[in-house]
Amino acid sequence: MTKTTEKKKDVTILFAGDSGDGMQLTGSLFTNTNALYGNDISTFPDFPAEIRAPQGTVAGVSGFKLHFASIDIFTPGDEVEVIVAMNAAALKANIGQLRMGGTVIANTAGFDKKNLRLAKYDDEANPLLDQTLDKFRVIEIDVTKMTKEALINSGLGTKEIDRCKNMFVLGFLLWMYNRSLETTQKFIGEKFAKNDSIREANLNALKAGYYFGDTNETFTSRYEVESAHLPKGEYRSIMGNQAAAIGAIAAAKKAGLNLFYGSYPITPASDILHELARHKNFGVKTFQAEDEIAAICAAIGASYGGSLGVTASSGPGIALKGEAIGLAIMLEIPLLIINVQRGGPSTGLPTKTEQSDLMQAMYGRNGEAPLAIVAASSPSDCFEAIYEAARITVEHMTPVIFLSDGFIANGSEPWKFPKSSELTPINARFANKEKSMKDGTFYPYKRNSDLVREWAIPGTEGLTHRVGGLEKENETGNVSYDPANHELMVNIRQEKVDLIAHDIPNQEMTQGETSGKVLVLGWGSTYGAIRTAVRELIGDGHSVSHAHIRYLNPFPKNLGDLLSAFDTIVVPEINNGQLVHIINAKYGVGAIGVNKIQGLPYTAREIKERILELM
Amino acid sequence: MQTETLEPKYTAKDFATDQDVRWCPGCGDYSILKQMQSTMAEAGIDKKDIVFVSGIGCSSRFPYYMDTYGIHSIHGRATAMASGLKASRPDLSVWIITGDGDSLSIGGNHLIHLLRRNFNVNILLFNNEIYGLTKGQYSPTSPKGQVTKSTPMGSLDHPFNPQALALGADATFVARTMDRDPKHMRDVLKIANDHQGTSLVEIYQNCNVFNDGAFEVYTDKASKAETTIMVEEGQPLIFGQERDKGIRLNGMKPEIVSLKDCSADELWIHDSSDRMKATILSRMFDNNALEGGLPRPFGVFYQEDRFRYEEAMQAQVEQAISIKGEGDLDKLIRGGHYWTV
């Protein structure tokens, strides 16, 4: 029997199962195959806050969403076309995302009475048997049984065999989407190089899934998503937190500094610590401190000693670090502070995304305590954005907050990575006896035309001096309670941050004309959704443009002019209206906020609808 | 053959700064500053390689008066700040200046973690059993019942015993000295400086404005001989005006004996490498002013050679380099799997 192949521009698949079912791995491996094939890709893992929530329950469902395409894409997809549901709970938790006419691939063994009860289906009614899924195409496979049969001679126990069922599913999907098994086979070969029986079992389960699709007469059509026309170059797949870690190392290297990372574990920032700890051969020192305050203070201590001090957390931890950030502002030394935002306030929604710490970054300290803020807009953009944050902190001797969030931190996409030689140089200016002393005296707070002081580190001959959190006299740095001096210093610290505007690029349009009816102004992780929505609106003939701000403090010099060229400014945010507030306070342009605060990213469709309502 | 030493030679005065010292006249801090300046002069460490790190409180003004590098940081965090500094710069001589409120109340967490990690740094804990800079509230070392501005009917807090706390946190060096005994202080500071690891030196320091005489029973010439015992390595624990009393261990229990009834051989011989004995010493914490009891010990209670965090951290960096080679930025950026379009 011949099987047909249908071409598709893009497909969104959601792999969902118990948190122990290996769905994250399955999704990642399917992603890698498609990335290597040349698709454009965007992924988003969605896992429960509990490490091992009760098996079979909706709370325990772990999902991995993958959008792959032959066209440029910027989001993990609004609606899902295929859901792989390893059990009833996985289906129940995610069926709302499936588009009309979409496909459910259900592991029937996960829909027995026990699973239906745990998933809390009314009267244990099986959705595979009633009308629940009438609007969808349902492919039922007893994955558990098929895997068991395929591995009957493996010599493995039931539990170990059961762990291979995700490979069966992966094999089937690779068949369905016309992909080779090669990448996955290579991965399994490396991962289980030392365990022959487990390696063979996984490889056999993978092949069994593939051949099941190939030989079973129920499945008559396969799909093909051709490679995307991505710009020429070398690519890799990267997650946001990984990109942030690598970007920080790159910046330290280019600046000729050692990187010291002080941090306390917190979701969703911990992966940066894990990544950095793997790269000690770059002179990276990672310090898991006793608490958030110790983490930042250790980073300040390291910066004071001449390293690039970096600390990271999420909103609750940043709140604890507030006083120490103020100290770094007073010391006028480099300090890179990473906030991977999550749903707040308080403990809030640890595993869910939000953009609600912009005000905290801007104002969340006692006293007049300005600092620079840089935000990443996508997983791969974390590299460039954190690199810029590090450049500013080193060259302007001021703490910088780098904002990311749970969505881009855990999401992944292909990244056309740069060569290290293409990265902007970073120049640390250290004080020394020869150039920094005047008439035999060292003035630690003497500044250049950007109001930046030199970095005077212990071990430097002749420059012994004392610094601290008390207000200090300009130039000498001596403690001073003089009223006029305090006002002078407050203004200097503000102006120093304002002057960074001369050292960052002008704001550019992401897409659309430089003037017109509507400007959609975004920051951070809404980038993909806004970009997709505005592309469609422009395609439909609307006068809409999109600008996405990376430098949130200070703003690019031309931002005010850029805003004034539009009739209406719309600011979509995953918060209750923070950037819009700052924009209106500064430029008085009457920008309109459109907000979503559900712990979830915006979809392109939602943004498109909100913009259309305002037009 | 005579060689010319390359060590810079300093006098105590070389460590004074041009800043006016602003502690209250008569404050015990003056004595500590003077001994510290002498200690640093004798230690011969290059000034450029010394950093004093402090938190907040009267004592924390200290770095402004030492002509070395210094940070006057935020309340309770000097220990954390110093950890990052030492971890990244093992070459520096790092001194933490803190008080009883700074290190045992707001900074209590960082103190115990610093002690267990055993960075090679020194802590001078100025204990005056009161909050001075905020004008006279009780502190975590104030005795229960102390009447202060915030406790007009007497403090309800059971006080910390800093020596016992430090030993409980597995400190590798704990010592106690006092502002009124400059020679003893200087001796202890010297041993602390030589110790490889975190040295905690608790200094009884008189706040003559808000808590005058808190330690008078231990510092006053008339009572001192009966209320204190100066422990010295390898020596029996002897005290008393006539040096006619000693401490003997009856099992785990220390007891006062008269040397008339007991020979010196039977006395407790001080051994600072013995953790159990150090623990017992730290528990000789009777309130002599009120109840008498066992004399309060001074000196180096405990000293242990244990790996230093910053050395182990540096060793991991070097190990990583020897296994993987010096970091190659392009390889890092490219990652394990990449493809060409």
Q: Shortest CB distance from B341 goes to which of A233, A253, A283?
A: A233
Give the Cα separation of B271 and B22 in Å (integer).
40
Query: Which pLDDT score, from 0 to 100, does residue B264 have?
Result: 85
- Answer whether residue A316 shows pLDDT above 80: yes
- Spell out the residues 6+ positions from residue A298 whose beta carbon is closer than 8 angstroms to its own: A260, A262, A287, A289, A309, A311, B80, B81, B83, B84, B87
User: Can you give the pLDDT at residue A124?
Assistant: 82
Side-chain-side CA neighbours of A347 within 13 Å: the count stands at 1
CA–CA separation, A207 and A224 (whole Å) = 19
Amino acid at B148: T
- Contact in structure between B45 and B6 (CB atoms under 8 Å): no
Per the prediction, chain A carries an average pLDDT of: 95
Q: What is the DSSP letter of A352?
A: S
Beta-strand relationship, B50-54 and A437-438? unpaired
Q: Is the dihedral of CA A474, A477, A483, A487 positive or negative?
A: positive
Cβ-defined contact of B72 to A470 (cutoff 8 Å): yes
CA distance A18 to A25: 13
Rg over alpha carbons for chain A, rounded to the nearest Å, is 27
The reported pLDDT for the residue numbered A4 is 85
d(CA A235, CA B294) in angstroms, rounded, equals 74
Residue written as tokens 């051949």? A211
- The 10s digit of each residue's pLDDT in B101-156 is 999 999 999 999 999 999 999 999 999 999 999 999 999 999 999 999 999 999 99
* Rounded Cα distance, A168 and A162, in Å: 10
Q: Which residues pair with A336 in a beta bridge?
A: A310, A400
Q: Is the pLDDT of residue A1 over 60?
A: no
Residue A212 has pLDDT above 70, yes or no: yes
ipTM value: 0.97
What is the token pair recorded at A293? 């305050």
Q: Which bin fits B250, alpha (ψ -120 to 50), beta or left (φ > 0)?
A: beta
A511 forms beta bridges with A546
Check CB contact under 8 Å for A250 and B329.
yes
Residue of A nearest to B62 (CA): A466
H/E run at residue A159: helix A158-162
Structure tokens that stand for A257 in this block: 């500094």
Distance of CA B302 to the CA centre of its chain: 12
Cα distance between residue A343 and residue A345, in whole Å: 7
| Element housing A374 (H / E) | strand A372-375
Contacts of A231 in chain B (CB under 8 A): 341
- B104: which 2 tokens? 């045992």
Please, what sign has the CA dihedral across residues A360, A365, A368, A369? Answer: negative
DSSP letters, B250-262, are ETTEEEEEETTTS
CA distance A69 to chain B (A): 15
Tokens of residue A80, six digits: 């899902």
pLDDT at residue A608 in the model: 97
Between CA A476 and CA A485, with CA A482 as vertex, the angle to 5 degrees is 60
Average pLDDT of the residues in A16-27? 90
Across residues A218-228, what is the average pLDDT? 87
Measured between alpha carbons, how far is B38 from B33 in angstroms, rounded to an integer?
Answer: 9
Smallest Cβ–Cβ distance between A464 and the set B47, B91, B92 belongs to B47
Q: Which amino acid, residue B211?
A: N
**Residue A420 pLDDT more than 60?**
yes
Contact A5, A40 (CB under 8 A): no
Which H helix or E strand runs over B39?
A: helix B29-43
Sheet with A399-405, strands from edge to edge, namely: A285-288, A259-263, A308-313, A335-341, A399-405, A372-375, A551-553
Strands (E), B78-129: 93-99, 122-127
User: What DSSP character marks residue B8?
Assistant: P
> Do the Cβ atoms of B89 and A237 come within 8 Å?
no
Give the number of other CB atoms < 10 A from CB of residue B158: 9
Average pLDDT on B63-68 reads 97
The two tokens of residue B330 are 């392009």
What is the Cα–Cα distance from A249 to A260, expressed in whole angstroms?
Answer: 10
Q: Are A518 and A530 in contact (CB under 8 A)?
A: no
- The predicted-structure confidence for B155-210, as pLDDT tens digits, reads as follows 999 999 999 999 999 999 999 999 999 999 999 999 999 999 999 999 999 999 99
Taking CB atoms and an 8 Å limit, are B341 and A231 in contact across chains? yes
Average pLDDT, chain B: 95
Chain B contacts of A418, Cβ < 8 Å? 333
| Torsional sign, CA A329, A335, A339, A345 | negative
- Give CA–CA dist A498/A119, Å, rounded: 55
Distances (CA, A) of B23 to A157, B67, B135: 75, 17, 13
Q: Contact A499/A527 with Cβ under 8 angstroms?
A: no
Test the B interface: residue of A297, A329, A461 with most B CBs within 10 Å: A297
Give the tens place of pLDDT for each residue, A544-555. 999 999 999 999
Measured between CA atoms, the residue of chain A closest to residue B310 is A285
Strands A516-523 and A566-573: parallel
Q: Is residue B1's pLDDT more than 50?
A: no
Of A19 and B89, the one with more pLDDT: B89
The first and second tokens of residue A408, run together, are 């881009």
Per-residue pLDDT reduced to its tens digit, B208-226? 999 999 999 999 999 999 9
DSSP assignment letter at B103: I
> B334 and A236: CB-CB below 8 Å?
yes
Token pair listed for A46: 């969605």
Cβ neighbours around A143 below 10 Å, total: 27
Percent of chain A with pLDDT over 90: 90
Contacts of A464 (CB under 8 A, 6+ apart): B47, B48, B67, B68, B69
pTM tops 0.90, yes or no: yes
Q: Which helix (H) or strand (E) holds A288?
A: strand A285-288
Q: Which residues of B touch A417 (CB under 8 A)?
A: 333-335, 338
| Residue that is written with structure tokens 């016992």 in the block | B164
Domains and CATH numbers, chain A: 4-224 (3.40.920.10), 236-422 (3.40.50.970), 433-502 (no CATH), 509-614 (3.40.50.920)
What are phi and psi for residue A311, nearest 5 degrees?
A: -135, 155
CB contact under 8 A, A236 and B335: yes
Token duo for residue A450: 């950007």
For residue A50, what pLDDT is reported? 67
Distance CA A442, CA A437 (A): 5
Distance CA A484, CA A359 (A): 29
Structure tokens at A228: 């995307």
Strands (E), chain B: 50-54, 69-72, 93-99, 122-127, 173-178, 199-204, 228-230, 238-239, 245-250, 253-258, 296-303, 338-340
Q: What is the maximum span of chain B, computed from C-alpha positions, in angstroms?
A: 95
Strand partners, A349: A343
Encoded tokens for B176: 């106690």
Q: How far is A355 from chain B (nearest CA, A)?
A: 27
In the predicted model, is pLDDT for residue B4 greater than 70? Answer: no
A579: pLDDT strictly greater than 70: yes
The confidence score (pLDDT) of residue B7 equals 58
Instruction: Return the residue in A187, A191, A276, A281 with the most chain B beta carbons within 10 A, the one to mutate for interface testing.
Output: A281
Q: For chain B, which domains are there?
A: 12-235+270-310 (3.40.50.970), 237-268 (no CATH)
A10-19, A510-519, B297-306: least confident range: A10-19
* Cα distance between residue B271 and residue A499, in whole Å: 62
